[in-house]
Copies of this chain bind each other. A is one copy, B any other.
Amino acid sequence: MQSRRQFLKYAGVGGAALAAVGSGVLSFQTLAKERPADAPAADHNAPGSDSANAEEMDRMHEQGMLAFPAPTAAQGLQPLEHTLEDGFKVFRLVARKSRWEVEPGRVVDAWTFNDMFPGPLIRVTEGDRLRIIVRNELDESTSIHWHGLKLPNNMDGVTYLNQPPIAPGATFTYEFTARNPGTHGYHSHHNGVKQVPMGLAGALVIDPQDSRRRYEADREAFLFLMDGTHGYTLNGKSFPATSPITAHLGERVRLRFVNFGSMVHPMHLHGLHMEVVEKDGYALRNPYDCDTLCVAPGERYDAIVTADEPGQWAFHCHVLQHAESEHGMFGMVTVFDVA
């Protein structure tokens, strides 16, 4: 993974507008105070002056941005492999305690599926028959709710309503047909108020069988939103450890939003706009355009961005406490990079 310094250099190759800012970090030194030639050199030591603090604040802001995208161990939402058995696509999930690097040096005790946070991406096609074998290696019972899916009631995952809990050491097998296309998810539905923010949540996409129901897009990117136990995270990482969304000029990028946190996150995209085409996997009869999309807990949205302006565009939650501190940007922040 490249550092922000390298990233800027790379990005600078791509577009005219980027050239102005992408020629190196030196172009980003703080604009000097305009000071008459005969003024005393150091007024920031005068009583009441905040200059030293201001410079330190700038330095911290710069460090965060230069570090982006900061390397961390492992990525969440990696595609989960399957085998084929008896006409089923067979997936295996193991719930267990793991360590997860949310941002450089901040490694947390997470409860994960397959040692990932968010859990692996399960991706199938409408009509597929799925068998998902879940083994619980935690110290307490768990279960999985297939959030957004149409399925038989006894596969829905709410303990004592739809199934028994999966005790520590036990295994449960879910079987159902992928019926309704869209961006969905999965998460614990047993002591979920603790288990979900600890990390037991992932994404599940059902691609439509009919290609006419697919949107024209050159690329896609997830924005899996979590808050709570591990802080404000995008795809399991906090800025500057988040990954940029990249596109070539003119490409169309499909964004898949999933919020399994406990707060609304109005995601604001700078310089470009989003055409919102699906909510919870259901096509909107009339898509709408926006630059700020508020995603509530449990909701999913699909949106198309046409990368029609080159540059590195900030993309972050506009609840500023989820994205910024006096030390610079953090949390639910990434960059949409059009080169």
Q: Which residues of A contact B (CB under 8 A)?
A: 15, 17-18, 20-21, 27-35, 49-51, 53-54, 57-58, 61-62, 64-66, 139-141, 145, 147-154, 156, 158-172, 180, 189-194, 196-197, 262-264, 266, 268, 270-273, 279-280, 282, 284-292, 294, 296-300, 309-314, 318-321, 323-326, 335
Query: A320 near B196 (CB under 8 angstroms)?
Result: yes
Q: Nearest Cβ distance between residue A9 and chain B, in whole angstroms?
A: 14
Assembly stoichiometry (copies): 3
A163 touching B32 by the CB < 8 A rule?
no
- How far, in angstroms, from A267 to B107 measured CA to CA in the complex? 33
Question: Which residue from chain B places its CB closest to the CB of A169 in the assembled complex?
Answer: B33
Beta-carbon contact of B31 and A167 below 8 Å:
yes
Closest CB of chain B to A173's CB: distance in Å?
A: 11
Residue numbers in B under 8 Å from A58 (CB-CB): 141, 159, 165, 167, 190
Find out whether the CB atom of B33 lies under 8 angstroms from the CB atom of A65. Answer: no
Question: In the assembly, what is the distance between CA of A290 and CA of B167, in Å?
Answer: 32
A282 to B272, CA, bound (A): 12
- In the complex the two chains form, is B296's CB within 8 Å of A292's CB? yes
> By the criterion CB–CB under 8 Å, are B141 and A17 in contact?
no
Q: Which residues does chain B contribute within 8 Å of A196, judged by CB atoms?
A: 320
Q: Tell me whether B294 and A296 are in contact (CB under 8 A).
A: yes
The 3 closest A-B pairs by CB, nearest first: A153-B311, A298-B318, A33-B169
The answer to whether A309 and B153 touch (CB under 8 A), given A33-B169, A145-B270, A320-B297, is: yes
Contacts of A163 in B (CB 8 A): 21, 28
